[in-house]
Amino acid sequence: MMDLAPTHGLAPQSPMQSEIDDLLLSGRAATMAEAERLYLDAHLRDIVGLVERLSDDEFRRHELVRLLLAHGSRPLEDSLE
């Protein structure tokens, strides 16, 4: 069995990415996009907390916010076509 420890040049996975992967591996999400949406839905309060305590620059750089911004309004735009 291959050892995937960080000592082999792989960076440790973030807790956020681990939770998203768990959603996929458990079958609760069928796609990466669905897993990310479920994760974001489950962490809306965390995002609100970030708005309240971080500067604008810190907020935009935060991993959770970057995921949120990456999803943008694309599903809404697609549904209008």
DSSP character string of 54-66:
S-HHHHHHSHHHH
CB-side neighbour CA atoms (13 Å) of 79: 4
- Range with the poorest average pLDDT among 3-7, 10-14, 41-45, 50-54: 3-7
Cα angle for residues 3, 6, 7 (degrees, 5° grid):
80
Domain boundaries, the chain: 14-80
> Is 4 a residue whose pLDDT tops 60?
no
* Greater model confidence, 75 or 46: 46
What pTM was estimated for this model as a whole?
0.73
Distance separating alpha carbons of residues 8 and 6, to the nearest angstrom: 5
